[in-house]
Amino acid sequence: MSDFDSLAQIVISGDFGGAKTLTQKMIDNGVDPLEIINQGLMAGMNVVGVRFKAGDMYVPEVMMSARAMSTGIELVKPLIADKDMPSAGKVLIGTVKGDLHDIGKKLVVMMMESAGFEIIDLGVDIDPATFVKGVKEHKPQVIGMSALLTTTMLSMKDTVEALKKEGLRDTVKIIIGGAPITQGFADQIGADGYAPDAATATELCRRLIA
């Protein structure tokens, strides 16, 4: 088994100590930092995404895998110029106004970062004006909105309308998710997509940006 395969397996098993040790060994041996990320760390996390979506891995395991991957990336990052860091695209994400739920959003952030996306996480209880400001400031390709309460879902519609009003709607793709959200609701408010889980959200962003 190559060091890349071993590193991928370590990420899948969520062994952050092992990830740190093997990543450092590969750096010391002069392995290309980008290859360590793409063929080792991210390759492992891609398997995690597939298993999570299939129901073969659960949230705590995914979080441990993401932590193992991050441990390796932190070691490799100083060796790579920012311009060379692989980026799958930029995503602005937040839980909508009136909603303080964070766990689902955090998992989406972790999965997307693992897949190479640059994430701007606005946090929770985010009103339409803040999303608009975020789009102007960061120029993301995708906005992700999350809601766990049926009472806060309509803030998603308000955000879409606010973006239209500012002439920004066509500059960005919008995806939504959360327990009460459906594809039908996404269609109704004019979102570009709906994701029932973190792995699907990551795939959806890849598709929309491509």
Half-sphere exposure of 156 (CA within 13 A, CB side): 33
pTM over 0.85: no
Question: What's the order of all strands across the beta sheet hosting 173-177?
Answer: 117-126, 89-96, 142-146, 173-177, 193-194
Across the range 2-18, mean pLDDT stands at 96
Q: What is the pLDDT of residues 57-74, one digit of tens each?
A: 988 899 899 899 989 988
Nearest-angstrom CA–CA distance, 169 and 4:
41
State the average pLDDT for the chain: 93
Across the range 111-126, mean pLDDT stands at 92
Q: What is the pLDDT of residues 13-43, one digit of tens each?
A: 999 999 999 999 999 999 999 899 989 998 9
Confidence at 82, pLDDT banded by 50, 70, 90: low
Looking at residue 107, its pLDDT comes to 86
CB 36, CB 73: distance < 8 Å = no
Looking at residue 77, its pLDDT comes to 86
Q: Which domains does the chain have, with CATH numbers?
A: 3-84 (1.10.1240.10), 89-209 (3.40.50.280)
